[in-house]
Chains A and B, each alone.
Chain A
């Protein structure tokens, strides 16, 4: 990655020591007044007070290989031996051991797609195709049952691939739902408007756990006898409905700031409702709502860990299960740090990606309102 904001003066000025330049910068920014100097010292002290023990715990005193947590206790630091011993289970859960390369490949596919998405060369249409294709291929890989890969039922789909698939699949399916709900909420037809409002407000008014329980526990009661839908798909429907309501509100926020003149100009050209909406209003509304859409997607990704409550084991569920092993009973700090880092990496990436997207959109259309 190249830093576009780098200072060009160091190309012109004769080279000076980095220490000298650093000191000048610090004097100008950190010690430019008595109050700022005190503040700088205080904050530095606080960081040191926090970072040194953390570093000792996580690196210096850590144990990287040990048979059980008792062996770690002696050294007092982090017990990464637990992660080293159990990482396959944390990532893939109860997925049959011989086939674990499949969920591993799914994770790789998702990482590759995330990296490819930040390539400026790829256009929206291609990205959409890529993600849709990636999700389909991933689901096929998880299932197996072809090309000599043994079939694996959804009950055994655990760990990180589940979080990734639930997020992307859920948001992907929720997006069209959200567009129609957002448009419906602004419709002049009362039936459509009230239906949209009812959907959005009902879903937003209850916790995700409730929706998950409804989908997994109550839906089977209404199904005809003999008909079953795998618990995972029921949960996916719940996520879709839940994310859809929140995405709808994000999109509605974008719709609200489109000036009335845009609608009138499209009307005056005779575009009609659907063409006006798809060609003029939505493209503008969606690009305005990017920050809140990404925000919703980030929460969606984090929300997928709630699936544990209905007995489907995602990465957090796997960690909890792993700590049931008698030899690693006290390794929860390490287990949860592992999950936290994983989630932070993905969420941070998403947030950076949205910032870049906003910048490139505003560069493409200067003077945009």
Chain B
């Protein structure tokens, strides 16, 4: 696509994702206040914070499921504006996994995976199915390919959702609380897949409260509260001696049980 080529003068040091002074309001409510974040290619970032801190809103702005009102967002060198072409170009490069999985219930698992490659990437059906089966094997459920999402457990559905995003061969993966809607015994199977992805060098931004996952995988931790980025630090430093009082309080609450 022309947009991608002209708007993508990528240099080595340029961040994959960059938010500059991003602000967002819901009516009078100021959800995001001057957010500045840069994520390099291959970097894994974990975003945490109390509920209502704006962390989900922030990552939803990155593929424009939410619109920001002030500031700039760049993904792979393309600026997110109202321009539909830019938005679609960015959405092709950015995969997203939702808390509620959001699989398409009227399609089989295989059809869920091949839908976007066939219709957006114009991949031949046979190639798309081959790719889909590879990815289903990677998330360890190739035997479920012909079932409908409603027949799978939550953990299986979330793994299908991850595979569905990977089918588009994204540059970046966004995870919006991927394990929050899961029963405890299913959380591990999803986290294992995510750890595997991280080890392969995928650029990832995860909103999650799974601090064990954050410790093993994250290159950097972002703590948000009341619409602001309060602290950014490598996980060792972040957990060992958080600088801000709010971070300390949050960590004491989340790690105490």
Contact = CB atoms under 8 A, between A and B. Distances in A.
A275 B148 contact: no
A261 B88 contact: no
A267 interface: yes
A271 B150 contact: no
A264 B148 contact: no
B120 interface: yes
Interface of B: 63, 65, 84, 88, 91-92, 94-96, 98, 100, 102-106, 115-116, 119-120, 148-151, 161, 164-165, 168
Contacts of B95: 268
A347 interface: no
Contact of B91 (A269, A287, A368): A269
Interface residues of A, number: 24
B91 A284 contact: no
17 contacts: A259-B100, A265-B104, A268-B63, A268-B65, A269-B91, A269-B164, A269-B165, A270-B120, A271-B116, A271-B119, A272-B88, A272-B120, A283-B106, A365-B148, A367-B149, A367-B150, A369-B150
Interface in A256-301: 259, 261-262, 264-272, 275, 279-280, 283-284, 287
Contact of B151 (A267, A268, A366): A366
Interface of A: 259, 261-262, 264-272, 275, 279-280, 283-284, 287, 364-369
Given A270-B88, A367-B148, 15 more contacts: A261-B98, A262-B104, A265-B161, A268-B65, A269-B116, A270-B91, A270-B92, A272-B88, A279-B119, A280-B104, A365-B148, A365-B150, A366-B151, A368-B106, A368-B150
Given A264-B65, A365-B148, A368-B150, A269 B100 contact: no
Contacts of A365: 105-106, 148, 150
Nearest to B112: A265
A240 B164 CA distance: 41
B116 A270 contact: yes
Q: When A and B form their complex, which 8 residue pairs have the shortest distance between CB atoms, in order from nearest? A: A367-B150, A265-B102, A270-B91, A261-B102, A269-B116, A268-B96, A270-B92, A365-B148
Given A264-B65, A268-B65, A268-B91, A275 B106 contact: no
